[in-house]
Every structure is written in structure tokens, then in C-alpha cells.
Amino acid sequence: MSTDSPSEQAKSRLPNAVSILFIVIVLIAGVFFIRKLYDLAYIAMYLPDGAFAISPVVNYVLAGLGFLCMFGWAAYNGMFHDIEKPKQTMLDTEHQLDGTSEPYALWKKK
């Protein structure tokens, strides 16, 4: 028998539900993307003046692949393990800077 409270059980199920929803959305988007690529190939091969659409689509696909590679590189190097650390570092730096200088020094009378 589990001693977890109902709210803790709901929290533990939330990542699973989000993961499943993510996979479903990505699969649906992938199906429609493949369908659009098929339509583009059909237009470019069989319709006159249809080749004008290839250049922008190739640019978008290459840019998307570049972002996908950057995301994979960041995930592989562990940049998403501690996503709270940059926020804490910024707040610590701001606190340190505020402690060493006088606030509103420009508006003080001499």
C-alpha cells in the first residue's frame, strides 16, 4: 500500500501525461508535415511554374534542422539538467551588485 497523498500521486502522473501528449502532438504534426512535403514534391514535378515553392521550403527545413541539432547538442551536454541555476546565479549576482553600490547614487544631492 502506498503512503503517498493524492496530490503527490497526481504530481507523479503529470510528467507521464505530458510525455504522452507531447508524443501524440509530434506524431500528428509529423504526419501533416510529411503530407505537405509530398504535396510540394507533386507540385514541383508535375505542375508548370511549381518549382518556385522549393527554395523557401528548403530554407525552412534547413533552419529547422539547425535548431534541432542545437537542441540535441544542448540536451546531450546536460544544459537542461538544472534549469533553475541560471535564475539563481542572476539573482545572486544582482544581490551582490546591489550590496556593493549605493542605490540611486545619481539622484543624491552632493
With a cut of 60, say whether residue 96 has pLDDT above it: yes
pLDDT at 99 over 80: no
**Residue 12 confidence class, pLDDT cut points 50, 70, 90:** low
- Torsions phi, psi of 61, nearest 5? -65, -40
pLDDT in tens, 41-59: 888 888 877 777 778 888 8
Specify the pLDDT at position 69.
Answer: 94
Q: Which residue range is the domain that position 26 belongs to?
A: 7-102
Number of domains observed in the structure of the chain = 1
Assigned domain for 2 exists: no
**Model confidence pLDDT, tens digit, residues 61-74:** 899 899 999 999 98
Cα–Cα nearest to 59, from 67, 49, 47: 67
For residue 76, being part of any structural domain is answered with yes
Q: What is the pLDDT of residue 23?
A: 92
The pTM of the full predicted model, rounded to 2 decimals, is 0.45
On whether residue 88 sits in a domain, the answer given is yes
Query: Which residues neighbour 70 within 8 Å (Cβ) at sequence distance 6 or greater?
Result: none
